[in-house]
Structure 1
Amino acid sequence: MDYNLTIIVPVFNEEENLIRVEEKLKEYTLSSRVKTQVLLVNDGSKDGSEKLMIEICDRNPEFNYISFEKNCGLSAAIKAGFDYSTTNLTGYIDSDLQTDPFDFDLLLEEIENYDLVTGYRHERKDSGIKNLSSHVANTVRNWFTHDGMDDTGCPLKIIRTDYAKRIPMFKGLHRFLPAMILLQGGRIKQVPIKHFPRIAGTPKFGLRNRLVKPLMDCFGYLWMKKNYINYKVYKKS
């Protein structure tokens, strides 16, 4: 079957969530407006995630997986998803399912005219400190990137795969995907989506990950922006 959209699902110690991931994403693939497959990326999980992922893929032909030898981080998992995607469009959703797979349809409505469409969690269901730290981090990133995005860390995105594959990822760069599309001369848009509390598993990011590390990553982004190579081939033999 020829697919049009690959949904990347990074997985790190999410055994408690994976059956729900299977159920929700299978339901979405059966009703999606485009032919959709799922790529589970095991980021060196230490629990039973890998075994469960293999079982899920064995019983669902539209599900595939890749597995890292060791934990490499969220940016590496997303980068691997981009590298292994074989469809024109590549989506991304977190395995905690705090966003709704059916909201991919909202992004698909806009992607024809854009190169990245990202969700915007306008009514977040997280703790006050988590919401505040994310707001501060997004504000600081906007000072550096001027990408106009209110929620660059939202774990629901669709990107044109040719643009995604040209992003030179490093740790933390998953927070700058809209800005990296702009560096390529691409077009970006944000769309309000639903957000839900985490109901299983353990959050992987704390206050340091949401404030200190993102600030350090901003300087990495500035170096990337200054040295980024962007070319377009207009003729070839």
Structure 2
Amino acid sequence: MTDPRLAIVIPAHDEAANLPGLVADIRAIAEDFDAEVIVVNDGSGDTTAEVLNGLAAGWDRLRVVTHEASKGQSAALRSGIRAARAPVIATLDGDGQNPPENLRGMVARFIEAPEGVGMVQGERVKRKDTLSKRLASRFANAIRGFLLRDGCKDSGCALRVFWRQAYLDLPWFKHLHRFMPALMRRDGWDIISYPVSHAPREWGQSHYNNWQRGLAGIPDLIGVSWLIWRAPVTQGIVRPWWTGADDKP
């Protein structure tokens, strides 16, 4: 295929049962937007590799990137984004809970956005998770929003459309994907929230529990707050709550 305008990047770990249906749903969208699709097999222990190889053999827009051992979601996203040739990236999870049809509206919104918009961030409505997961997510987003003041109500939603180079300019750390809106704003980009649908997981199980998410998020939240505080003063940057608007690094 010619150089694509859009790359759809999907991290996947032990998602063999979900990937055939997900890729089938993405196919028409990728054709319409002249997009490449990159699935990163993040050290899966099931038959994800075999499933992806079979899907790629039948569709030349699908590329597979492989991690021999699991490195986590942020690392998988980074590998896929670095492998992409397109200037615009769209992402979603490989578990089937992010209906790909949402990407049509998100990409269109990104294309028509004014200069200075770096990302369209999905915001899940009517989530299909368990009550405990929804409550934990709501609490985590409230704390994160209070500390970072990034204006994003659902930074955990994997549905995003953004400039590839804007992402590559972000500081890299293991759980970067949870803080992309705040760090994009740190670099002076505007973020647009976009309501998206959410589906229940049909196969497999989540790779994180609420306790693991909470423990992983605490040091990252502190670190991201520090990064925002120490950023050069740029128009449009919102400082964390604990610093004054006129603070100089």
TM-score, normalized by length of structure 1? 0.91
State the partner residue of 1:234.
Answer: none
* Structure 2 residue 43 is the aligned partner of structure 1 residue 44: yes
* Structure 2 residue 12 is the aligned partner of structure 1 residue 11: yes
Distance 1:115 1:125 in 2: 28
> Contact 1:79–1:169 at 8 Å: present in 2 too?
no
Structure 1: where are the runs of 5+ without partners?
Answer: 232-237
Distance 1:84 1:172 in 2: 19
1:189 to 188, 192, 203: 192
RMSD across aligned positions (CA): 1.7
Aligned residues: 229
Distance 2:172 2:55 in 1: 28
Deviation of 1:28 (Å): 2.2
Distance 1:9 1:230 in 2: 34
> 1:105-153 deviations in whole A, cap 9, x for unaligned?
1112221322100111021111110000000111111122211111001
State the partner residue of 2:213.
Answer: 210
Supply the AA of the counterpart residue of 2:67: F
State the partner residue of 1:29.
Answer: 30
Distance 2:120 2:198 in 1: 17
1:43-62 residue pairs with structure 2 within 5 A? 43-62=42-61
2:204 to 182, 189, 201: 201
Supply the AA of the counterpart residue of 1:12: H
> Contact 2:3–2:85 at 8 Å: present in 1 too?
no
State the partner residue of 1:128.
Answer: 131
Report the 3-state secondary structure (helix = DSSP H, G, I; strand = E; otherwise coil) of the residue aligned with 1:101.
coil
Supply the AA of the counterpart residue of 1:139: A
> Contact 1:141–1:215 at 8 Å: present in 2 too?
no
Distance 1:8 1:144 in 2: 29
Distance 2:172 2:78 in 1: 6
Distance 2:162 2:123 in 1: 15
CA separation of 1:76/1:228 partners in 2, compared to 1, >3 Å: closer, same or farther? farther
Report the 3-state secondary structure (helix = DSSP H, G, I; strand = E; otherwise coil) of the residue aligned with 1:211.
helix
Supply the AA of the counterpart residue of 1:88: P
> Contact 2:42–2:76 at 8 Å: present in 1 too?
yes
Supply the AA of the counterpart residue of 1:168: P
Supply the AA of the counterpart residue of 2:225: L
2:163 to 156, 160, 163: 160
Distance 2:220 2:164 in 1: 24
Structure 2: where are the runs of 5+ without partners?
Answer: 235-249
